[in-house]
Amino acid sequence: MLGLEFEVRPAGIDETYQPGEEPGAHAERLAREKALAVARVESGAIVVGSDTVVVLEGDLLGKPRDTAEAVTMLLRLEGREHTVATGVAVATGDTVCSAVERVRVRFRPFDRSTAESYVATGEPMDKAGAYGIQGFGATLVEGIEGDYFSVMGLPVSRLILILESMGLGYTFPGLVRQG
């Protein structure tokens, strides 16, 4: 969408939640670790890492382990507001800059049958909180307050600000330049 050329490189890091770690700090830490892990291998590359978590009443809702857990997560979110925290980091070599973006999302009321039908699509199984706002999960969302792209997993505006803070910039149609 932004006109940037990129390659997806899994970082292979341990994504274990640290006891007592605040959810936004967790997402930012993982984004930093992902970006640094790849930047250390890809010399000279500009590496973007991100991680997204869903938070409901202080509980971290990650990716569901199975369909039963996905249905349970969705029913917890049903008719309620929750927070999505997405960490984003940019790394070159051993240098990294990062931030976290928080968005409030409100789900509409729905029943177990709706949750089960959505889970049957397979879409929720690799998504924090068991939904993807950019797909069928959009039908569950009543409203958001904040950056839509953060809910999808990459806070675009925040990414551009980080690039600029590192002396890089975005020019249309998407070339990153040294500033």
Known catalytic residues are 51
Question: What is the sign, positive or negative, of the torsion defined by CA atoms of 71, 15, 87, 92?
Answer: negative
Calpha distance 18→150 (Å, rounded) = 22
Q: Which residue intervals of the chain are DSSP H helices?
A: 23-41, 67-77, 112-120, 148-152, 156-165
Neighbours of 22 (CB within 10 A): 15
